[in-house]
Chain A
Amino acid sequence: MLPSSEIFKSLVEFKTPVFVALEEVADLDGTCKSLINSYLTETDLIDLLAIVKIQAIIDYMYEQVNIGNWKEVKLYLRKTITIASYLLLLAKVKCTIEVTESLVKEFYKIIDFGIMFGCPVDEAPDLLQNCASYLNSLSLLPHSITETSNKNQDKVNVENNKYNANLIEVIDCPSMEHFYKNYIVAEKPVVLRNCINHWPALSKWRDQNYFIKLAGARTVSIEIGRDYTESEWTQKLMTIEDFIKDFIFQTNGSTGYLAQYQLFEQIPELKEDIIEPEYCCFADKDEPVDVMAWYGPKGTLSPLHHDPKKNLLTQVVGEKQIFLFSPQDSEFLYPHEHELLHNTSKVDPRQPDLLKYPKYKDAKVYYCVLSPGQMLYIPPKWWHFVESLSISFSVSFWWN
């Protein structure tokens, strides 16, 4: 195995832009700023005590970024987490003699905590991702392959009309113009077929071991519980390997769902398996497209809700059934009263309680079962209910 001093030398090479990035955290308090500054300036000073102090900065910043609404947290606080996580990684590598398996796992935990709670610094937007890619290139971890792979992937019997709903139109890879005019402008949902046949993900992601090999030691946030409106619903940080073993292969406990997760920003290697659909170019603003991963066993559920953006929900592995309703039918769908859940309906379209929600009978139900290789276009504000019928991996593209 590579000596830690070699790893340290390679990681320190990412330092120069980080130093410039200190300007981006100029608003930080004097204590944290001077500590970060001194360790970054003189990496020779880094010792065991530095680990304690840098960890304390990360822990304190973790408290700071938990204050107020996540989306309004000041960026310099999150950037500090990114920079301090890089420093902590440096310090851990420098203060070690033997790079053991458990230590490598700890390196990835530091990186992933930094990616999840920090945010990119302008000067080095992929700082922590690059550190992870570098560690990946050293192949420091053995791979444990699980034999149970592809079990539970029984063929789903698609019974398209069991809900007596209007089936959503399915078309083959439309021209840009046709899609724009008849679906984007018309705000009409449609299933697109044969648009992503060239994605490497379609074949690679069918084997769950692929994720364990590529990123098993990486930490992600998993939603646990039936759905987010339930009181026992919670989130948990765990490694991808644990998630796959405990929730994808094992299905007798509670449901675990890697939902609405920015997996491709955290693990750029996975991004190489997918290609952003060209249809996303019909945008009102010049903003990047939000690419989210949705990975889980059979039975994951997103209750009926709507989002403000355009959405191309792309099915890579397994099947999902989806109910859609037009925004014009909102009055029949009984949204929750609380402001945090006002975009979520109380009705379960699989078994609507018409005694409690009598107006639902006037809603026009659209339905489809999405299979691997298909994409569903969900116009902004359209209500959708999504349930996986097998082990499923979907990628959503959200844009304005």
Chain B
Amino acid sequence: MYRITGTNLFGQWLEDDHIISDFRSITRNCNNYNNFDIETAKLLQICWSYNIFQLGKDFFLTGHWNCKENKVVKVELPKEYYTSACESNLTMVGNDYNIILVDKKYNFLWIMDLQKKIGSRKINLTTEAPLENSSKRMRSESNISKVALTNNSCLCLTSDGSVYNGLLPSLLDTSHCIGKVCDIRSGYEHFILLTDLGHVYTWGNGRRLQLGHGNLDNLETPTEVEALAGIKIIKIRAGGWHCLALSEFGDLYTWGWNDSGQLGVRHPDTKGVLNREGLKSYPFPTLVDILNQNEEEINMNIKDIGCGSRHTAIMLEDNSIWTTGYNKYGQLGFSPELNPTVSYFKKAFQCEKDFVIECGHWSTVLINTISASK
């Protein structure tokens, strides 16, 4: 079961309203596609104009497709996947131009162009590599565990904790990272990784302070966010130009661009960079305080986090959802007319138990973990 707030501009959530601002429960099954039951389908990715779902061995796109909106389309898979029972080895990611079918067992990427809609290019990650350096090729004894795709980048995490960069995989040097890499996330132009020992590393473009090292420098190699050293981090997320890190004690740290209030930080005295909108962007991880309507601090642990391109959503231990940042498309769960942006975390919704947060660019989705595991 899904509860969604945010953009439904292209009918990607099968609802009639184009902007949803109330954590609406999505129950509608798609009549013109009798195979597709959104309640049991597994959400794989929220792209800007469509969603990707998996249902059994089939993959579906909902939303914009082939110049039309409100579509539910079954993706045609390469022939070799017609018969074999390989659903658990397959996953799919997408951006505004391509979708990629990921074969985790054999380490293939099938790249399909959304506009040509037919044919696909197969990349075997274990045999292909940048010509100039075959030592950066993917090792055949490991398997793909995650692919993070944006319009401008593709990162691959494998079961042995290696990170590969680019569609033709090129091993990223993470040998200096303390612990085994267990998660990777991509912003619009920056990247963040987490190790199983709780250390956080960032790289990419730092011009909007999104790397958290206190400056505007760009970095080519993953570099530890030193302000978080000594704090065990258990979850990371990357927004368009900001980052989130959740500690084992349920504390949230945010940093980067704060043009819409996506950092949710209320520290008037902390050194930051003032922006056009009168808010400060923070160059170092900054601890977030959650205050209620009466400006009293809430002493509850944060248990889940998510962020879109310019907004942030968190879940407290009482399952309440708090959001901050850009809300023009209802992604915070508030009326966009009344609150086009929100500068500090505000309680947006009281959720039931057993939900997790997943955000799209301009949406926040709550996913029921019990029905999803069916």
Contact = CB atoms under 8 A, between A and B. Distances in A.
8 contacts: A29-B49, A30-B67, A31-B64, A49-B18, A53-B9, A59-B328, A67-B188, A338-B216
Contacts of A231: 271, 273-274
Question: Could you say which of B9, B64, B329 has the most chain A C-beta atoms within 10 Å of its C-beta?
Answer: B9
Interface string B102-124: 00000000000011000000000
A234 B275 contact: yes
Interface in B302-325: 309-310
A31 B189 contact: no
Contact of A31 (B10, B19, B328): B10
B276 A31 contact: no
A157 interface: no
A67 B189 CA distance: 6
Contacts of B34: none
Given A231-B271, A232-B274, A63 B240 contact: yes
A234 B276 contact: yes
B96 interface: yes
B152 interface: yes
Nearest to A235: B276
Interface of B: 7, 9-10, 18-19, 48-50, 64, 66-67, 96-97, 114-115, 151-152, 188-189, 205, 207, 215-216, 240-241, 271, 273-276, 278, 309-310, 328-329, 361
Contacts of B274: 225, 231-234
B9 A56 contact: yes
B19 to A, nearest CB: 7
A10 interface: no
Contacts of B216: 338, 340
Given A67-B152, A69-B207, A231-B271, A236 B9 contact: no
Contacts of B188: 63, 66-67
Contacts of A233: 274
A155 to B, nearest CB: 36
Given A29-B96, A68-B189, 11 more contacts: A29-B151, A30-B66, A30-B67, A31-B96, A38-B67, A52-B9, A63-B309, A63-B361, A66-B241, A225-B274, A236-B276
A237 interface: yes
B275 A52 contact: no
A31 B152 contact: no
Nearest to B216: A340
Interface residues of A, number: 27
Nearest to A57: B9
B17 to A, nearest CB: 11
Contacts of B115: 30
Nearest to B189: A67
Contacts of B66: 30
A60 B48 contact: yes
Interface string A108-132: 0000000000000000000000000
Contacts of A56: 7, 9, 329
Nearest to B279: A234
A67 B361 CA distance: 14
A34 interface: yes
Nearest to B274: A234
B214 to A, nearest CB: 12
A160 B297 CA distance: 59
Nearest to A49: B18
Nearest to A339: B217
Contacts of B329: 56
A236 B115 CA distance: 39
Contacts of B310: 63
A20 to B, nearest CB: 20
A237 B277 CA distance: 9
A52 B8 CA distance: 11
Contacts of B309: 63
B18 A52 contact: yes
Nearest to B18: A52
A63 B242 CA distance: 13
Contacts of A29: 49, 96-97, 114, 151
Contacts of A66: 188, 240-241
A56 B48 CA distance: 10
A225 B276 CA distance: 12
A37 B18 CA distance: 20
Contacts of A340: 216
Contacts of A49: 18
Interface in A245-291: none
Contacts of B19: 52
A247 to B, nearest CB: 15
A30 B241 contact: no
Contacts of B189: 67-68
A81 to B, nearest CB: 16
A60 B7 CA distance: 12
Which 3 residue pairs are nearest across A and B when measured between Cβ atoms? A29-B96, A34-B67, A31-B49
Nearest to A56: B9
Nearest to A30: B115
A30 B18 contact: no
